Structure 1
Amino acid sequence: MSFITIGNALGCTINSHRRGWDGSICKNAETWNCSAKQQFRTDYCQQGDPRCYHIHIFEEGNPYCLIDDLGIGWLLEPYPEALNNQILLFWGKRFQEPRGISDINTRPKDYVFGAYRVRSVSPQKINEFKTLWKIEPYQDGWTRFQQPYILTVYYKSIIGGVYLKEVNRVAVENMFEKAAEQARSPHPNWHNPKDVERFEYFHAHLHEWFELARENAQRIEQNMVRTYSSRTTSSVLTRSPFVDSLKNLDVKKTTQSVATPAKPAKNGVVIYPLLEKESAKEKIKKCYSKEVLDAVMAVSLTRNILILTGHPGVGKSTLAIDLLDDSERKLIVPVGSTWRSREDLLGYVNPISNEFEPTDFTKFLSKADAAWRKNDKRTYMVIFEEFNLSQPEYWFGDILVRSQYPDDQDKLRIIELGGKSIRGVTSAASKVFVSPALRFVATVNNDHTTLSLSPRVLDRASIVDLTLEPRATLVRAELKLDEQQIMSIEELDALLKYKNAMFSLRAADSLKRCLNNLEELNMNNAWDALDIVLLQQVLTKVRLMVGDPANDNLIQGLEDWSENYGKYLRKCANLINGWTEALKDGRDVIQA
């Protein structure tokens, strides 16, 4: 995701502070692990130098937060008012006395300390090269929680900035409800009596403030649209901090109904585009992001081999197939795990007829060669599925070498095949020319069934990593679910992504099929369909080994997830409960 969704909250990580963020320096700072670097704690905190960015974040008289320009300048320099009236959460790692953040038995998520309703953001110039951004809340618009270690947050990153995260509005409201329940306990144990009043006021006005934040973001968006309409370039549009009304922005574009041939040479470089139509570009931008589109477009200039990586089910093959919509100029080659030589890719010489027996790949090379000789400079593309199922250097070496020579070096781009001729191919000799207009796209997975790519291959290729968040996956599958159902998928995905148990496009497609056939499947509602799909296509990918501390942390998170959604997703909750019992009994969890 490249922009901040209007209506959601934002958040950022802060250092945990022993003195409660009241402006005081931590005592014995060298021994206190607040997540700041050891050198910083030694050089500044231990010496009484108040340079900690977060020391005043919940200070009674004048709370504010300082953020380094490297972390947030990408947003605030072009749009200094972007955070005004927004709800901003602060979180960090769980900490405990006397040493700070625990290195063991920590939970898999970050812990919310408090929140601001942002009043203003202003740059603080330190010197010619360094700027800090000062974020100040409304006097009645800030709070900190009584027990921050109770509350976890599930966020998603915003591409473009490494500091800010985006948090679903409903998740934030639910979190405050849970905090309110804790506050009504017999022994709430607030850090400061005034925190009770601040929390209750913040909680009571949260819904209203979210609406005001939405209105403010929409005003910024409208101003951006007006600015864009008055200019001839789209630079302002691509830097907009929010995305909402952009979906309805009517920008006239010149579309192409026919494929674009190779572009004329510029600085000695001829471009053979992987993407020929505007519709294909828009599809990639919509499904993934502008960053992915830019990366794919760049390959046309820099490399003739594009490698697509990403978790299974993220859409690597679909994207590759969508690059060109002309089936006559496109070939799909499934790579075999037993491939060990060029014969597996190109073919072999028949010892009886002395003819070369070509594969579909070799025939395709000859087809691209014939087009090139007829001055047809359009792109021809080969898609290698499961490129690293065997070592590419063994069977792809000839293509790897020959395709790198300059376009005008015909002799160097020829592969001698052997034999007197190529069977079924009209050719004067048994050889094939690697056309400069050929482009190779490879999909790779990274698991125990695949092999790592060598520097020899990586140096000649461009790699694009594809990620697809659950919400975007549902949109791409044209699935409409309740917000709570979407959140259940997002939170489970956040917990299991390190186990490669992602909610994939295949899972979304299965869910869609179930929802369209609830009656035939004897299911009562969408929750039943979601329950069975998550059980069969997400949780079945998980493996847990006894004694692995990371699994202990994961189980904690899964138990919290089951507590929140178990009444709707009973099958999933029962399976997770079984995992807990198995690990306690000393049994590994292996689904298949």
Structure 2
Amino acid sequence: MSYISPGSALGCTINSHRKGWDGSICKNAETWNCSAKQQFRTDYCQQGDPRCYHIHVFEEATPYCLVDDLGIGWLLEPHPEALNDQILLFWGKRFQEPRGISEINTRPKDYVFGAYRVRTVSQQKINEFKTIWKIEPYTDGWVRFQQPYDLTVYYRSIMGGVYLKEVNRVAVENMFEKAAEKANMANPNWHEAEDATRFEQFHSQLSEWFEVARETAERHNITYSSKTFLPTPPVASPLIVSSNPSKNPFEEQLKGIEVKKASNIMPIARKVDFVAYHLIEKDLVKEKVKTVYGKEVLDAVMAVSLTKNILILTGHPGVGKSTLAMELIDDPERKLIVPVGSTWRGREDLLGYVNPVSNEFEPTEFTRFLFKAEAAWRKNLRHTYLIIFEEFNLSQPEYWFSDILVRSQYPEDQEKLRTLDLGGKKIRGVDSNSSKVFISPALRFVATINNDHTTLSLSPRVLDRASIIELTLEPRITLERSKLELEEKQIMAIEELDALLKYKNAMFSMRAAESLKRCSESLQLLDMYSVWDALDIVLLQQVLTKVRLMVGDPSNDSLMQGLEDWSENYGKHLRKCASLINNWTEALKDGRDVIQA
């Protein structure tokens, strides 16, 4: 999924700052790690040059944040008002004196520093090549949290946008509730006394502001997209905005230039010297792919029809690679599934072999399908024929797929080069006078691959002839696709666990969602009291069992801290999962690796 739902919060990373982002330059900046590059700290901060993008984020008088065009221009260039009224969180890595952020190569948690209710965003031209964006909050719409920085939220990246993230609204509201509880404790340790007042104001208005943010996004018809921002029609939303609407800003530039009327301009006819055999033939399937995986995946699949005849789908187990491949073409007579074997070492494993007794070629189902595609081509039927290889890299494709790989690359008018000699005097069971098969130009291959210790890497020879698309599914979309309705807190439990464990390849997959659905529909049969019980057992059996933790791995520290926080938040409802995570903590302390199976 590649868009931000209206009503959700946004978030972005900022550099840490030992002065609390009050506009002051850090002292001894050269020795301080704020996540900015060392060269920047040496050349600017250390010299007293206030070029830090985030130095004024929580400044008392006029707070603002600067963002480089490279990270956010994809959204703001076509629609500068896209962030107006939105809730924007600022986060970064935990830091402490004397050196700032730990330099250990781990993936520490992100800690929320504060938030804006965005009032305006303006473009700042530095020079011909450099542009930055200035984000300013409402006067009463910004807050800086007190220390320590231990407030975490679940977020997901937006494909194509390297700066903005999406944060679930309920997660943000829960975070503020916890912050309010801490603020009521003794010695809350605010940066400034005014921070406490601002927090109370922000917290009390947050729910209402979220509604305004949703209405604003819907009113502007804004769709936040990863690679293609969908603008409104030019007539309704002109790209050039002038302070003097009566004057065309390009008027002076157009003087003396003869402009032909549009009606006199004839479109240039382009000759199409090839036929595209599409992997997706129906609009209904296109819309389904777009809904589940996003427009980027749909665009990529459609592009393969023009560029390659081999599409490789990769992604975590259960993400839906095989399902997508099967749904590309809905005619069962024009598609074939071929499970690749780990023992395949030559073309006979794919195509068949010559019987030494009868001298007839014994074809496989794959070879029979090649003849079916050839027969359709001879009859001038130009429909796509699809072969799906399951577990394509379970053995080395160059060994058994080489002949097909080479022959299918030749132009469709080179029939001799596209013809494969199978051997023997004839093909058993095939109505043919020879033992040769023509590789139809309408033939397309889709392969699914996994990346683990049971598979082999693809060689450059294969990769050069194929297009690769990685599939990802967010837990929320996975649940929607399985038609499973859960409470928001249950969805958040899945999302946050998925975010923690995806670096261990322990994802909440479609298979887990389907299992959860079946268990939820059979609570009485399973002697379970609620959906929480079903969720507890499914996460335990189908997510946590994939985790491996090695003693001495420095990344385990931040992961276990995150899992312990997760257990604290959801352990009341997910007792089995919380108990297992506690066992992991004890095992690592005792010097024992955690291996589930």
- What range describes the TM-score normalised by the shorter chain of this pair? over 0.9
For residues 562 and 411 of structure 1, the distance between their equivalents in structure 2, rounded to whole angstroms, comes to: 65
Which stretches in structure 2 are left out of the alignment for 5+ residues? 225-229, 240-269
Q: 1:465 aligns with which of 470, 480, 500?
A: 470
Over the matched positions of the two proteins, sequence identity in percent amounts to 79
**Root mean square deviation, CA, Å:** 2.1
1:441-456 mapped onto 2 (5 Å cutoff): 441-456=446-461
User: Of the candidates 351, 354, 358, which is equivalent to residue 356 of structure 2?
Assistant: 351
Give deviations 1:483-526, integer Å, cap 9, x for gaps.
Answer: 00000000000000011110000000011111111111111111
Counterparts of 1:475 and 1:203, CA distance in 2: 30
Please give the alpha-carbon distance, in whole angstroms, between the structure 2 residues aligned to 1:548 and 1:66.
37
Match of 2:245 in 1: none
Aligned mates of 1:181, 1:141 — CA distance in 2? 20
Any idea what the Cα deviations from partners look like across 1:77-125, whole Å, max 9, x if unmatched?
2221111111100001111111111123966421111001111111111
Is 1:107–1:557's contact at 8 Å kept on the other side of the alignment? no
Task: Pick one of 540, 549, 552 that aligns with 2:545.
Answer: 540
Q: 1:129 to 1:370 in 2, by over 3 A?
A: same
Residue type of the alignment partner of 1:98: P
User: For residues 279-318 of structure 1, what are the structure 2 equivalents within 5 Å?
Assistant: 279-318=284-323
Query: Which AA in structure 2 matches 1:25?
Result: I
Question: Cα deviation per residue 1:159-218 (whole Å; 9 max; x = unaligned)?
Answer: 231110010011001111111122222222222222111112111211121122122222
Q: Aligned partners of 1:461, 1:44: CA distance in 2, in Å?
A: 46
- Indicate the SS of the match to 1:268: coil
Does the CA contact (< 8 Å) of 1:116 and 1:137 recur in 2? Answer: yes
The aligned residue for residue 11 of structure 1 is: 11
Instruction: Judge conservation of contact 1:113–1:148 (CA < 8 Å) in 2.
Output: no
Distance 1:196 1:229 in 2: 41
Q: Which residue of the other structure, out of 379, 403, 408, is the alignment partner of 1:374?
A: 379
Partner letter of residue 442 of structure 2? A
1:180-329 equivalence runs, <5 A: 180-221=180-221, 266-329=271-334
Residues in 2 aligned to 1:93 and 1:524: alpha-carbon distance in whole angstroms: 40
CA distance in 2, matches of 1:34, 1:367: 63
Aligned-pair distance for 1:431? 1.3
2:517 alignment partner, SS class:
helix
Matching residue within 370, 380, 384 for 2:389? 384
Q: Deviation per CA, 1:255-306: give whole Å up to 9, x if none.
A: xxxxxxxxxx954222111111111101101111011000000000000000
Contact kept? 1:105, 1:553, Cα under 8 Å: no
* Structure 2 residue 341 is the aligned partner of structure 1 residue 336: yes
Tell me what 1:150 maps to: 150
Q: Distance in 1 between matches of 2:194 and 2:236?
A: 52
> In structure 2, what is the Cα distance between the partners aligned to 1:47 and 1:60?
24
Q: Which runs of 5+ in 1 are unaligned?
A: 237-264
What SS class does the counterpart of residue 271 from structure 1 fall into? coil
CA distance in 2, matches of 1:387, 1:222: 40
**Distance change in 2, residues 1:223/1:347 (3 Å):** closer
Deviation of residue 433 (structure 1)?
1.1
User: Aligned match of 1:551 in 550, 556, 560?
Assistant: 556
The aligned counterpart of 2:595 is: 590
Distance 2:558 2:425 in 1: 65
Answering whether residue 420 of structure 2 is matched by residue 415 of structure 1, we say yes
Q: AA paired with 1:382? A: I
Shift of 1:230: 6.9
User: Structure 1 444/106 Cα, relative in aligned 2: closer, same or farther at 3 Å?
Assistant: closer
| Counterpart contact for 2:93–2:108, Cα < 8 Å | no
Supply the distance in 2 between the matched residues of 1:582 and 1:518 (Cα, whole angstroms).
33
Change in Cα spacing, 1:234 to 1:419, as seen in structure 2 (3 Å) is: farther
In 1, Cα distance between equivalents of 2:142 and 2:133:
18
Q: In structure 1, the residue corresponding to 2:345 is in which secondary structure?
A: coil
Distance 1:115 1:274 in 2: 45
In structure 2, what is the Cα distance between the partners aligned to 1:364 and 1:233? 52
Aligned to 2:243: none
- Check conservation: 1:94, 1:106, Cα contact below 8 A: no
CA distance in 2, matches of 1:394, 1:234: 56
Alpha-carbon contact 1:112-1:148 (below 8 Å) kept: no
Are the counterparts in 2 of residues 285 and 292 from structure 1 also a CA contact under 8 Å? yes
Distance 1:78 1:328, change over 3 A: same
SS in 2 for 1:176: helix
For residue 511 of structure 1, give the secondary structure of its aligned residue in structure 2: helix
- Secondary structure (helix, strand or coil) at the match of 1:146 reads coil
Instruction: Give the secondary structure class of the aligned counterpart of 2:161.
Output: coil
Q: Name the SS for the 1:113 alignment partner.
A: strand
Q: In the alignment, which residue of structure 1 is the partner of 2:63?
A: 63
- Structure 2 distance, partners of 1:266, 1:525, is 63
Q: Which residue number corresponds to residue 127 of structure 2?
A: 127
Deviation string 1:126-154 (CA, Å, 9 cap, x unpaired) is: 11222111111111111111125211121
How far is 1:232 from its partner? 11
Cα distance in 1 between the residues matched to 2:382 and 2:81: 49
Q: How does 1:37-116 map onto structure 2 within 5 Å?
A: 37-104=37-104, 108-116=108-116
1:261 is matched with none
Amino acid in the other structure paired with 1:286:
T
Asked if structure 1 preserves the Cα contact closer than 8 Å seen for 2:106 and 2:554, the reply is no
Structure 2 CA distance for partners of 1:120 and 1:235, relative to 1, 3 Å: closer
Question: Distance between the aligned counterparts of 1:133 and 1:107, measured in 2?
Answer: 28
Task: State the distance in 2 between where 1:164 and 1:231 align.
Answer: 26
Distance apart, 1:229 and its partner CA: 8.9
Aligned amino acid, residue 102 of structure 1: S
Q: For 1:517 and 1:469, how far apart are their aligned partners in 2? A: 25
TM-score by length of 2: 0.91
Q: For residues 75 and 341 of structure 1, do their structure 2 counterparts lie closer, same or farther at Cα, with a shift above 3 Å needed?
A: same
Question: Does the C-alpha gap of structure 1 residues 106 and 344 become closer, same or farther in structure 2, counting only changes over 3 Å?
Answer: closer
Letter in 1 for 2:31: T
Deviating runs (4+, > 4 A) in structure 1?
A: 227-236
Which moved further from structure 2: 560-569 or 414-423? 414-423
Distance 2:448 2:238 in 1: 32
Choose which of 477, 482, 490 in structure 1 pairs with 2:482: 477
Determine if contact 2:80/2:122 at 8 Å carries over to the other structure.
yes
The alignment covers a number of residue pairs equal to 563
Contact map agreement 2:113 2:144 (CA 8 A) in 1: yes
Does the Cα contact within 8 Å between 2:314 and 2:468 map onto a contact in 1? yes
Q: Does 1:137 align with 2:142?
A: no
CA distance in 2, matches of 1:370, 1:585: 67
CA distance in 2, matches of 1:375, 1:213: 56
CA distance, structure 1, for counterparts of residue 533 and residue 84 of structure 2: 41
Q: TM-score by structure 1 length?
A: 0.92
CA distance in 1, matches of 2:237, 2:405: 38
Q: CA deviation at 1:233?
A: 13
Say if 1:105 and 1:297 are closer, same or farther in 2 by CA, change over 3 A. Answer: closer
| SS of residue paired to 1:269 | coil
- Against the structure 1 CA distance between its residues 397 and 205, is the aligned structure 2 distance closer, same or farther, given a 3 Å change threshold? same
Where does residue 240 of structure 1 map in the other structure?
Answer: none
Which residue of structure 2 aligns with residue 35 of structure 1? 35
2:507 aligned partner, one-letter code? M
Q: Secondary structure at the match of 2:278?
A: coil
Partner letter of residue 93 of structure 1?
K
Give the secondary structure class of the aligned counterpart of 1:388: helix
Give the direction of change, closer, same or farther, for the CA distance of 1:562–1:105 in structure 2 (3 Å limit).
Answer: farther
User: Equivalents in 2 of 1:228, 1:462: separation in Å?
Assistant: 29
Q: 1:294 to 1:419 in 2, by over 3 A?
A: same
Aligned counterpart, 1:260:
none
